[in-house]
Amino acid sequence: MVKITEHAKTRCQQRGIKSVLLPIILEFGKKKRLPGGATGYLLRKKDKNLLVNECKRIIQILNHSTGVQIVKSPDGLILTIYRKR
């Protein structure tokens, strides 16, 4: 979850920007130093196109992943992976 001020929430609502976009822009956007020590993040067209292509690749992988099961130990170590049929 992204920490966001009430001001930023209001601006998202006013400008029709979905909150689901915020972590995506923070992760994939171009970083820029701003006055006062702040950092800006801009999702450029080329950033968006790269992300769209990656999502398409993930969708192709997901289409072939039904039934995959992961078994983890209590401490979080992956023990095995298999296809459950």
Q: Give the pLDDT band of residue 84 (cuts 50, 70, 90).
A: confident
> What would the two tokens of residue 7 be?
């001001």
Spans of all domains in the chain: 1-43, 45-85
The answer for residues whose C-beta is within 8 angstroms of residue 29's C-beta and 6 or more apart is 41, 42, 43, 44, 47
pLDDT of residue 23: 94
What is the signed CA dihedral for 74, 78, 83, 85, rounded to 10 degrees?
Answer: -10
pLDDT of residue 85: 77
Going from the C-alpha of 78 to that of each of 4, 69, 85, the distances in angstroms are 34, 11, 20
Query: Mean pLDDT over residues 9-16, rounded?
Result: 96
Mean pLDDT of 30-45: 96
C-alpha of 28 from chain center: 8
What are 41-75's pLDDT values in tens digits?
999 999 999 999 999 999 999 999 999 999 999 99
The average confidence (pLDDT) of the chain is 95
What share of the chain has pLDDT > 70, as a percent?
100
